Structure 1
């Protein structure tokens, strides 16, 4: 028995090492996976098969996973509503906008009305009020639909709307919403709601879908109003359910041309989950009207795209900054390019502040985050650690002129594996509003000191180093 185990260990480990060397996309990640495979017999190989294989290199993955989405893009190209496309008059805005249009597919559009939603209660009050006024349809997709007060209210509201002839379509991530009971799903389906899991775990496709999750949070009402950001349907955003307390997060209410682009993201995901091509006519995509003065660019990211759009967004924002860069993120685990960009920015005299929570829902993520801080502090980046609040916000502001709110974290998953969506806002009033909130939050932060931080206990450094090995999984 022991001999069989050693043979299995040797064969599987050698195969994994060969695969990592041959197909690894980046040296740092490859080294991390090599360590995991070697240190953890068999289990390390299993983790690599599930979460580490670069499936884009394999023909079967391209055919089974991406072909349908790419075929959809060819058949249903957006006209991008040229009337509303913003013509840049500032060079740095132009650079960001043109790059992201080619990387992600959507141009910047003007004429949007935005409302910042800065906590869970406000967010869901606005969302439920909008749902109650729907006249044609409600389309939602969330990474997490979790049992509790909010989901009960959502189901009750949808039940009433369905009885009044309103179409309801629901997308949810198969893993993120795994706790959503089948009873609730069946109830809505029996009433007439269209309800589909995204990337369900099926025997024939589990290896090509398990590591790729839909992390988006989008709600569309009648094709003329949208909500997007970082808030999931979970009671943790409205009441304390753990030691982390009530989670803080940001969401945006949108009216205007950008709604069309957000809706097209939903429609594509819905087609991918349901095989139903029903939503590309004017009933679902009405012609938009100008509602306000904000310029918005929707940034979609996902493994089916040719480029790493979320990474491109964050990098080009950092590289375009002239005065300040403010980042707030609960999973700040950037790659080498982002770390160097931040160090270059602060060394050139730009005010760079990064805000992260002291406590986290993932201890591995927390230690992996802190493993990067010593180099950043040495360069002059200010690391601000929220003492009493768990902020789940994914926010970046440059020069108090451009801001991004959405679902994309500063980590490998958001850059390469997850389907994400960010709202890039070119509006000085909103950017300054968010900047003021960021500065006010500094009063609740511990500002790390380089000398003190580098002298933290050896045991802490070891924990951080071990967690950093696992950063490809995060």
Structure 2
């Protein structure tokens, strides 16, 4: 029996090593998986099969649903109106917007009104006020939709609105919303909420879907008002339910033509989650009047995308910056390309500031994040640690362009998750966000390179070990 078991282990391990060599996308990631496979008997090959197989090149792109998602983009790319689309005069804006348009089929639109929402209290007050004014439909998509005070408030609003004929549709991630099941989800469905999991974790599809999660957070009301950002539906945003206290975050309310882009992302995801209910009637895609003077572009990407648009967006913004770069992110575990872009920017005399939480909901992610700090500090990057847990995902450049959304600075957001950002081409709006960013940073002393370099050896060892696994996080 032992001989048979070890023979099986040897075959599986050999298959894993050959697969890593043949299909590995980057040497650093391949090395991490090779170490995991060799150092973790049985568990290593299993983890690689679940999370490491490059399904973009290997299996995932041959899945029936993924091919249909790609065809959906091509077939329905013309649902956008050319009216209100923008032809930028600024070379910087033009270059960035064209990159996103070519990679995602989503244009930049003028005539919008964007309202930045800071923290859970402000975000949910605005969301609930908007939901209560819904007349035709409410569409929601969340990575985490968990049972609690907030979900109960949603339930009561849905109950009232459905009784008045308003349609409610909800997509949730089956991993992030693992508590949203059984009697909890039955209550919502019994009201008339059309609720579906995105890429549900089932035995038959476990090996092909577990590593690819829907990390988006958005709401569209009547096709005219939208919300997106980093805030999930969990009581962590309104009361302390762990040692991390109340989570901080940033969200954005959108009104105007760009809402159609955000809704297009939902329509595509709902089409597949609901077994192909297509929401392309005029009722769901109304003509949207201009609401303000903000120019905005939605950035959406996932493992089915032709291009890693979130990573490309971040790299492009870093390389286009001329004066300053401001980044706030809870999981700052950049790819080699992003890390090098930041170092080049700093060495070119651009002021680079990174704001991250001192505490984290993931010890491995925190260690991996800290493992990159020394080489960034060495080239003059300013790194600030805030004492509370901030879940914000934001990048600003030159006080001219800002991005707020769900995309982290890590491999998972770049390659494995479905993400959505809102890209704001507006000086006044960006400067107001940067003022808030600077105010927070000014409250704390940036990390000192010499002090950080001399941190205890045991910390450096733990960070070094975590860094090996950073491509896997």
Give the TM-score category using the shorter length.
over 0.9
Indicate the residue corresponding to 2:262 in structure 1. Answer: 262
Deviation of residue 188 (structure 1)? 2.0
Distance in 2 of aligned mates of 1:244 and 1:213: 24
Gaps of at least 5 residues in structure 1 are none
Partner deviation per Cα, 1:354-399 (whole Å, 9 max, x = no partner): 111100000000000000111111011111111x211100010000
Question: Secondary structure, in 3 states, of the residue corresponding to 1:201?
Answer: coil
Distance in 2 of aligned mates of 1:194 and 1:243: 35
The correspondence of residues 71-150 of structure 1 with structure 2, limited to 5 A, is: 71-150=71-150
Indicate the residue corresponding to 1:310 in structure 2. Answer: 310
Indicate the residue corresponding to 1:250 in structure 2. Answer: 250
Indicate the residue corresponding to 1:393 in structure 2. Answer: 392
Q: Is the contact between residue 315 and residue 338 of structure 2 (CA under 8 Å) also seen in structure 1?
A: yes
Deviation of residue 245 (structure 1)? 1.0
Deviation of residue 61 (structure 1)? 4.2
The correspondence of residues 16-31 of structure 1 with structure 2, limited to 5 A, is: 16-31=16-31
Partner deviation per Cα, 1:149-204 (whole Å, 9 max, x = no partner): 00111111111111111100000001000011321211221222111000101222
The correspondence of residues 192-203 of structure 1 with structure 2, limited to 5 A, is: 192-203=192-203
Question: Secondary structure, in 3 states, of the residue corresponding to 2:241?
Answer: coil
Distance in 2 of aligned mates of 1:300 and 1:467: 29
Describe the shift of the 1:28–1:400 C-alpha distance in structure 2 as closer, same or farther (beyond 3 A): same
Distance in 1 of aligned mates of 2:320 and 2:52: 32
The answer to whether 1:409 aligns with 2:389 is: no
Question: Secondary structure, in 3 states, of the residue corresponding to 2:138?
Answer: strand
Distance in 2 of aligned mates of 1:234 and 1:257: 29
Distance in 1 of aligned mates of 2:280 and 2:11: 50
Question: Secondary structure, in 3 states, of the residue corresponding to 1:82?
Answer: coil
Distance in 1 of aligned mates of 2:452 and 2:243: 25
Describe the shift of the 1:444–1:181 C-alpha distance in structure 2 as closer, same or farther (beyond 3 A): farther
Distance in 2 of aligned mates of 1:471 and 1:104: 27
Q: Is the contact between residue 335 and residue 471 of structure 2 (CA under 8 Å) also seen in structure 1?
A: no
Indicate the residue corresponding to 1:440 in structure 2. Answer: 439
The correspondence of residues 267-416 of structure 1 with structure 2, limited to 5 A, is: 267-386=267-386, 388-416=387-415
CA RMSD of aligned residues (A): 1.2
Indicate the residue corresponding to 2:471 in structure 1. Answer: 472
Deviation of residue 59 (structure 1)? 5.2
Q: Is the contact between residue 151 and residue 233 of structure 1 (CA under 8 Å) also seen in structure 2?
A: yes
The answer to whether 1:430 aligns with 2:418 is: no
Distance in 2 of aligned mates of 1:148 and 1:310: 31
Distance in 1 of aligned mates of 2:358 and 2:457: 19
Partner deviation per Cα, 1:308-363 (whole Å, 9 max, x = no partner): 00000000000000000000000000011111110110111100001111000000
Q: Is the contact between residue 326 and residue 397 of structure 2 (CA under 8 Å) also seen in structure 1?
A: yes
Indicate the residue corresponding to 1:421 in structure 2. Answer: 420
Describe the shift of the 1:182–1:444 C-alpha distance in structure 2 as closer, same or farther (beyond 3 A): farther
Distance in 1 of aligned mates of 2:177 and 2:28: 32
Distance in 1 of aligned mates of 2:60 and 2:410: 27
Partner deviation per Cα, 1:389-412 (whole Å, 9 max, x = no partner): 111000100001100000000000
Distance in 2 of aligned mates of 1:78 and 1:237: 38
Distance in 2 of aligned mates of 1:398 and 1:58: 36
Distance in 1 of aligned mates of 2:455 and 2:10: 39
Indicate the residue corresponding to 1:222 in structure 2. Answer: 222
Q: Choose 261-270 or 78-87, whichever is displaced more.
A: 78-87
Q: Choose 1-10 or 432-441, whichever is displaced more.
A: 1-10
Distance in 2 of aligned mates of 1:369 and 1:59: 30
User: Following superposition, which runs of at least 4 residues in structure 1 exceed 3 angstroms of deviation?
Assistant: none
Gaps of at least 5 residues in structure 2 are none
The answer to whether 1:460 aligns with 2:462 is: no
Indicate the residue corresponding to 2:205 in structure 1. Answer: 205
Indicate the residue corresponding to 1:189 in structure 2. Answer: 189
